[in-house]
Amino acid sequence: MSKGRIRTTAGAGILVLLAGCNPEQSAFAPAGVEAERINVLFWVMTIAGGFILVGVLVLSAVAIYGGETLRSQLSNERFITGAGIVFPAVVLSMLLVYGFVVLGAGAGTPPSPDGIRIAIKGEQWWWRLTYVDADGNSFESANELHVPVGQPIYLELTTADVLHSFWAPRLAGKLDMIPGRTNILTLTATEEGVSRGQCAEYCGGAHALMSFHVVAQTQEDFQAWVAKESGPAVKNENGRAARGRQLFLNAGCGGCHTIRGTRAAGAIGPDLTHVGGRHSLAAATLSNNAQAFAAWISNNQHIKPENKMPPYNIFTRPELEDLALYLESLK
């Protein structure tokens, strides 16, 4: 291998290691009760496994290089029974019980005081979120989960098509989304902040581009967000945004997307009522700005191949810019 190729490979390896240090999507930077339990269990099992590995290596060295007396002791039937059967059975049983205790396996979590439920449905390749309050009122969002800090939240996980897997590493473990059934995941955020999650089950060509953000907020901020998010879109009086709004409605975009407060009521694609206020576009594939909206509308099959939205090349450049400005204004 040439020196140049070695340097390139080493550089790529360093970049990968540095990327792994980002806490935004790291299970080693827990920000939820369930994730903290998983982190503790991981380190306990890793350290215990490390000690066992060292012990096995030492015994292997003794068996190879040790004196006749030591080697004969290792081959003793009593030692083999104790070290090869009793020790693994006891240690593994203890770790199993400890894992059940730490993770609270089988323990029920009381429902949230305000009765809020969040149903998350995996689509190809984005996330449909439906928030339902204690009175049965509901509203939809997409690709961004908001939760209050310190309150256990039930997530009802389903899928509209193939197997998906919901994983927010900083808050909880992963749980599969299986056609025909609903799985329940409970998570409790312990600190405010924005983290990132990912589909952890290969679900098709754009699987790697099926991510989401989790926003953990104080109770007051969460209630304020719910009040705003459940309402209709705020009408923008800017002339270009108003033209973009008319383009959106006249071009048939409302056949797939909903914008509450307008006649757009499609249910095929994500709800866009407050899309401009989210942290990203296209399931965390793009930044949230007018340029990204324009790129997605005209070139989405290149950005996320095989997604269900066709590219729209019917707009002139000024029309595309007006439409993008309108979508960006939906805060």
Q: State the DSSP string of 26-77.
A: -TTS--BHHHHHHHHHHHHHHHHHHHHHHHHHHHHHHHHHS-HHHHHHHT-H
Nearest to 273 by CA among 291, 298, 253: 253
> What is the 3-class SS of 166-205, one letter each residue?
EECCCCCCCEEECCCCCEEEEECECCCEEEEEEECCCCCC
**Distance of alpha carbon 217 from alpha carbon 199, whole angstroms:** 23
Q: What pLDDT, on a 0 to 100 scale, did the predictor assign at position 47?
A: 94
Q: What pLDDT, on a 0 to 100 scale, did the predictor assign at position 295?
A: 94
Q: Is cis: bond before 125, omega within 30 of 0?
A: yes
**Distance of alpha carbon 298 from alpha carbon 321, whole angstroms:** 11
193: left (phi over 0), alpha (psi -120 to 50) or beta: left
Q: What pLDDT, on a 0 to 100 scale, did the predictor assign at position 106?
A: 53
Helix, strand, coil percent values for the chain (each to nearest 5)? 45, 20, 35
Q: Are 276 and 330 spatial neighbours (Cβ–Cβ below 8 Å)?
A: yes
Q: What is the pLDDT along the chain (331 residues), one digit of tens a residue?
A: 566 666 666 565 555 555 556 778 898 999 999 999 999 999 999 999 999 999 999 988 988 888 888 888 888 888 889 888 999 999 889 888 888 887 776 555 555 555 688 999 999 999 999 999 878 889 999 999 999 999 899 899 999 999 999 999 999 999 999 999 999 998 999 999 999 999 999 999 999 999 999 999 999 999 999 999 999 998 877 889 899 999 999 999 999 999 999 999 999 999 999 999 999 999 999 999 999 999 999 999 999 999 999 888 889 999 999 999 999 999 8
Q: What pLDDT, on a 0 to 100 scale, did the predictor assign at position 20?
A: 55
Measured over all CA atoms, what is the biggest interatomic distance in the chain, rounded to whole angstroms?
A: 92
**Distance of alpha carbon 301 from alpha carbon 123, whole angstroms:** 16
**Distance of alpha carbon 222 from alpha carbon 143, whole angstroms:** 17
Q: What pLDDT, on a 0 to 100 scale, did the predictor assign at position 64?
A: 87
Tokens of 278: 């989210």
Q: Are 13 and 22 spatial neighbours (Cβ–Cβ below 8 Å)?
A: no
